[in-house]
Structure 1
């Protein structure tokens, strides 16, 4: 089966969040199951520099709003995966963040930048590459949301069937919403601007386009698939999602064990396995030394690798930070986001130098360092489609402390007395998104850490969790088979 993945970022070449990890790992996992996978990405500088053996396979200049557009083909480094890159300097040749300017404001022409991504995807499904045509097009998040719409438009015009389409929602809160007047530049049939189409509260939504026109919809955990059909988490799209519930599946993201594996990780201070955790203690000391906090063994190290936003629950961590500091624990944070949160965390780190360390930004090496060296990873999100850092924490024996939502609910088992007795516990869960519930979970983490035998038993159970990509890739393949053309 031939599958084209359409995405805006791809690990390890370009990453701003978990989408890149998924887009980088899923095609490889599907390859191992016998399918043939290719990816399509915008010509951001990172992709133009990071993809090898590029050659021009189509010149589409003046076909999309008079732009200079070429389709290139190359190879993803270290793999056999073919990548298509859209070269359009006017749209993509910008330094820094791929989505926003130096003031962190979304580019005003993002609708054109990602409409072109969807249009080219549909053109590839319509024989743009004479040597390869996908049977399934898999679009990831709102950036690829117009791809299924362009496929339907081309099918209407030509009276033929093109590729089947799957659209994956990685986070329903990010919808790609633009003013209604931009629809005129998309080159779609007029009737596509409709409540049964792209129209969304008198604007247009790229994400809604994917949800409406794709043959199948997936999201990144079974619980999140249910949550987004409710008013609380449906972000205004719950009605549409309810009408499409028979086409909606929740498939957990996996972990690329070539990247995240404590037994082989080349980044961390020492490797370790579930049978021998000696190396984790070395990683713990290495983290304390790097973060310039006190080297101590008696109290747990809490770590955060996250966007610093209210949605990620970092306001709860801030409000409850005394629960960690007064008990002698330590907190090491890696992330960026809300400027007020950044400022507040840096002030606390300055005040409590032996206990708190904050690094603003994203650093892949430091992320590995935190997850290997920490004892508890905090993922207290208000909502969480899947979450990846709690999965990394499980595999590294760094127990997750999570809010009971979405993929966090699906992947972490609480350290209740019953679960500890049955040897199923893997972390700490709080049910209500409020400070007292969060602080109670922190207290339970301290209590379990003080009971070394129970702590080690829970660590080992967590490390035995199976979140590799094989099972998830198999589920995707079953969906593809239903719609392949």
Structure 2
């Protein structure tokens, strides 16, 4: 199968969030099972320009250590001269619609120019969604794309690609699109609707989130449209790169380990405690948290529980940046509880690896979480997740039952400080039952959330998209 994978960000070239990880990993996994996948993405300033020219507008590179082709759309004004991807100093670029319209408008003519007919055009998030609208309107009767189906993936419903209606014609589409059944959204245009309305199938990054976005609470005003398209809406949990996230081979860990040498994990814990100026005590449970410090990620309920957690004879290490009010709160609490709290108000990839390896538990108290990768990485490192039951967390973490040994973490459902605190208490109580805890660690380290498993589900999704346009793949 030929798959044209369109993404505004791709690891290791560009990244603001989890989409970049998906775009850098899923095509690699699809390639490994025999599919011809090619990525299309902008060439931002941070991407080297000494790439092979394919056409006047497109250069070619590859995902490192793979044969996955990456096509970089060249536009110096819109992408090559920009320091960041979508915004600068927290403010969106005012010409984002023009930028990503140009990116999408160049995609399908490029395929014709190189004479490469994809079976699937797979667009991701609002920045890529217009490509699907073009495929189904402007190129609807073009024989070149007669056998091409469209898949649209939404990675976070919080970002709809909202712009003033006055900019509609700049997309290359006409005023016939400015109706509620198409791109209009409360007097504006929402570019994500180009994907939701026109794709043959839609997917998001977990089965539970696929259900949640059809509700008023999580649908961001598009729940009605998504309910209308519910028969074409699927959820596939993201994978993680098991070559990258591997405690047995991770070159950045003080001490590497695997399931058979789990007792060596504690050496990473001692280093984590040391780096956070915490007492180096093997027996004290350490809870790690790597997150944006925002309400969406549960910082509001953590704020109401954190002082009680400090009295549970544990240590909490937090890595991330976000809302200034949470920065101030954590600095104040660090002064109050210097032996219990480690605060790192930054993003640090090496420290993140040490948190996954050195912590005993990993906290994700999210209000909503489309998929979540932290819990999957923590499994890999034998670090037990404490999560709220929402989105991908609900699909991937099952509550631990000490009587039966079933479950993979500690789950709370009510979005409250009290529920979070109770889950933390249960985790810490279980931690002190060493035989039970070790068995739980061994179990989660052997779970399979690799991209290999997810890639097979995407192939099935692509088959459904082709079936929608009347094609049964051989």
Indicate whether 1:54 and 2:51 are aligned. Answer: yes
Q: Is the contact made by 1:54 and 1:75 (CA closer than 8 Å) also made in structure 2?
A: no
Q: Tell whether 2:59 aligns with 1:77.
A: no
Is 1:323 aligned with 2:295?
Answer: no
CA distance in 1, matches of 2:51, 2:340: 49
Partner of 2:452: 470
Per the alignment, residue 27 of structure 1 pairs with: 27
* Range 461-470 or range 383-392, more displaced: 461-470
Asked if the contact 2:288–2:362 (Cα under 8 Å) also holds between the matched residues in 1, the reply is: yes
Distance in 2 separating the partners of 1:344 and 1:95: 34
Partner residue, 2:127: 143
Match of 1:391 in 2: 376
Distance change >3 Å, CA 362–CA 203, structure 1 → 2: same
2:208 to 191, 213, 223: 223
- Cα distance, 1:58 vs. partner? 2.4
Bigger mean CA offset, 10-19 vs 21-30: 10-19
The SS at the match of 2:411 is strand
**Structure 1 residue 95, shift from structure 2 partner:** 5.1
Give the distance between the partners of 2:94 and 2:322, measured in 1 at CA: 21
Equivalent of 2:279 in 276, 294, 299:
294
Answer whether contact 2:117 2:144 (CA < 8 A) is retained: no
The alignment partner of 1:128 has SS state of: helix
- Residue number among 318, 341, 344 corresponding to 2:326 in the alignment: 341
Cα offset, 1:161, TM superposition: 3.5
Runs of 5+ in structure 1 lacking a partner? 60-69
Measure, in 2, the Cα distance between the counterparts of 1:364 and 1:123. 38
Paired with 2:450 and 2:144, the residues of 1 have a C-alpha distance of: 38
Cα distance in 2 between the residues matched to 1:105 and 1:344 = 25
Alignment of 1:340-379 (within 5 A): 340-379=325-364
Q: Does 1:155 align with 2:139?
A: yes
- Change in Cα spacing, 1:159 to 1:195, as seen in structure 2 (3 Å) is farther
CA contact (8 A) 1:47 1:85 kept: no
Structure 2 partner of 1:9: 9
Q: 1:334 to 1:128 in 2, by over 3 A?
A: farther
Match of 1:121 in 2: 107
Q: In the TM superposition, what are the counterparts of 1:83-102 in structure 2 within 5 Å?
A: 83-94=70-81, 96-102=83-89
Separation in 1 of the partners of 2:342 and 2:464?
50
Partners of 1:90 and 1:318 lie apart in 2 by 43
- Count of residue pairs the alignment pairs up: 466
Distance 2:322 2:101 in 1: 27
Q: In the TM superposition, what whole-angstrom CA distance separates every residue of 1:206-239 from its partner, at most 9, and x where no partner exists?
A: 1111111111101111111111111121111111
- Give me the whole-angstrom Cα distance separating, in 2, the residues matched to 1:450 and 1:483: 50
Query: Partner of 1:263 in structure 2?
Result: 248
Partner Cα separation in structure 2 for residue 35 and residue 99 of structure 1: 31
For each residue in 1:388-444, what CA deviation from the matched residue of structure 2 results, as whole angstroms up to 9, or x when unmatched? Answer: 00111111111111011111011111123xxx3333221100010011111111111
Q: Secondary structure, in 3 states, of the residue corresponding to 1:145?
A: helix
In 2 relative to 1, CA 350–16 (structure 1 residues): closer, same or farther, beyond 3 Å?
farther
Alignment of 1:165-184 (within 5 A): 165-184=150-169
CA distance in 2 between partners of 1:473 and 1:159 (Å): 29
1:160 CA drift (Å): 6.0
TM-score (norm 2): 0.94
For 1:14 and 1:346, locate their aligned partners in 2 and report how far apart those are by CA, in whole Å: 31
- Verify: 1:311 aligned to 2:311, yes or no: no
* Structure 2, unaligned runs of 5 or more: none
Deviates more, 1:353-362 or 1:402-411: 353-362
Q: Quick check: 1:483 aligned with 2:465?
A: yes
Q: For the residues of structure 1 that align with 2:97 and 2:437, how far apart are their CA atoms?
A: 50
The offset of 1:158, in angstroms, is 4.1
Select which of 211, 219, 226 maps to 1:241. 226
Contact preservation (8 Å) 1:308, 1:335: yes
CA distance in 2, matches of 1:177, 1:48: 30
CA contact under 8 A between 1:323 and 1:442: conserved in structure 2?
Answer: no
Contact persistence 1:178–1:205 (CA under 8 A): yes
2:197 counterpart residue number: 212
Q: Please give the alpha-carbon distance, in whole angstroms, between the structure 2 residues aligned to 1:368 and 1:184.
A: 46
